[in-house]
Amino acid sequence: MINSDIKNQDSSMKIGIAADHGGFELKQFLSGKLRESGYEVIDFGNKVLNPDDDFPDYVVPLAQAIIKKDVHRGIAVCGSGVGACIIANKLPGIRACLINEKFSAHQGVEDDDMNMICLGGRVIDYSLAWELASVFLNAKFIDVERHVRRLEKVRQLEK
């Protein structure tokens, strides 16, 4: 059962969102659902449907905003979600994953402090995308020694 009534637990949470042409329609849908749920949504584009655009032009500014803490978390959408995930993880401090099921949407935050979810606009339907985004945004990092230790190993690789 999909709970479409999930409400933002932190009304001050700014969420960044970005998509190319392959994820544009899903981005528009998710932006509306996020606003309805009380999130402040920062749209990094594309703001118009352009079949010739490139996902890095929108995902990189979103990732930079996460790093600078201008937004709390991010949602990136391209056709499959793969390209958005690849480019996002090139930036130190970004922990982005392509998510297609609910367990990883929360476990990635709880254990790995995932800060960006990548979705495929051409491979998942709107209701699943909303469920995954909601689970991701409502998950909290579990700040235990083993998780912190692993994150530090990631940070060392990023240097």
Confidence band (pLDDT; 50, 70, 90) for 91? Answer: very high
Residue 3 within a domain: no
Residue 134 within a domain: yes
Q: Given the residues 78, 85, 97, 118, select the one marked as catalytic.
A: 78
Residue 2 within a domain: no
Q: Could you confirm whether 85 is annotated as catalytic?
A: no
Q: Mean pLDDT in the chain?
A: 93
Residue 116 within a domain: yes
Total domain count for the chain? 1
Kindly list the distances between the CA atom of residue 85 and the CA atoms of 8, 12, 59, 76, in Å, as whole numbers in the listed order.
24, 26, 9, 8
Task: Give the list of residues 6+ apart from residue 121 with CB closer than 8 angstroms, or none.
Answer: 19, 22, 23, 24, 25, 26, 27, 77, 78, 79, 81
pLDDT in tens, 21-41: 999 999 999 999 999 999 999
Residue 53 within a domain: yes
Residue 152 within a domain: yes
Q: Which residues of 112-145 are buried (b: 16+ CB within 10 A; e: fewer)?
A: bbbbbbbbbbebbeeebbbbbbbbbbbbebeeee
pLDDT of residue 3 exceeding 80, the answer is: no
Residue 38 within a domain: yes
pLDDT of residue 112 exceeding 80, the answer is: yes
Q: What is the pTM of this model?
A: 0.92
CATH number at residue 142: 3.40.1400.10
Cα–Cα dist 106/103, whole Å: 6
**pLDDT at residue 126 in the model:** 98
Residue 1 within a domain: no
**Which residue segment(s) compose the domain that 36 sits in?**
14-158
